[in-house]
Amino acid sequence: MNLTDPVADFLTRIRNSIRARHQKLDVPASKLKAEIARILKEEGYIANYKAAEEDGHPVLRVYLKYGNNNEAAIRDLQRISRPGCRVYIGRDEIKRVQGGLGISILTTPRGVMTGRQARREGVGGELLCEVW
């Protein structure tokens, strides 16, 4: 299977799993996806994640998080920068997602971080996605 945009695939799998009310999902592992999962966990959008192996292939197992009345912690995820149309922003262009209720995830020269962290550290980068 040839994926041109593994990050969009990752986000779509999370979106579909939430709609189907799954507890966990497996995606083909990559360093970037692991970093995105780390941020989602730190920000409280997923319960946990871990690297596993299935049929000799590395997979990233993501445990989804739901509230008391079975409401998903993630309302939606949106891919911003795509392979066909990359979106780079400077540190002054980082805006709040959903009025501060969501987060943006960027790849910066200092690694993958949230928009808030990037603004604090004074770095810009590629705007991967927004989560709320």
The answer to whether residue 96 sits within a structural domain is: yes
- By the 8 A CB rule, do 106 and 131 touch? no
Domain membership of residue 105 as a residue range: 6-131
By percentage, how much of the chain surpasses pLDDT 70? Answer: 98
For residues 42 and 27, give the distance between their C-alpha atoms in angstroms, rounded to a whole number.
19
Q: What is the mean pLDDT of residues 3-9?
A: 92
Q: Which amino acid is at 102?
A: G
pLDDT attached to residue 70? 85
Token couple for 99: 């009025």
Please indicate, yes or no, if residue 30 is contained in any of the structural domains.
Answer: yes
Tell if the pTM clears 0.85, that is, is over it. Answer: yes
* Residue 47 belongs to domain with CATH number: 3.30.1370.30
Longest C-alpha distance within the chain, in Å?
Answer: 45
Number of domains in the chain: 1
Rounded CA gap, 75 and 132, in Å?
6
- Which pLDDT does position 68 carry in this prediction? 87
Mean pLDDT of the chain: 95
pLDDT digits 0-9 by tens, 65-124? 999 888 899 999 999 999 999 999 999 999 999 998 999 999 999 999 999 999 999 999
* The predicted structure's pLDDT at residue 69: 87
Element (H, E) at 120: helix 115-121
Tens digits of residue pLDDT in 109-129: 999 999 999 999 999 999 999
Residue (of 60, 62, 49, 56) closest to 17 by Cα position:
62
Q: Let me know if residue 43 belongs to a domain.
A: yes
DSSP state of 5: -
Whether residue 70 is contained in a domain is answered as yes
Residue 64 maps to a domain: yes
Establish if 1 belongs to a structural domain.
Answer: no
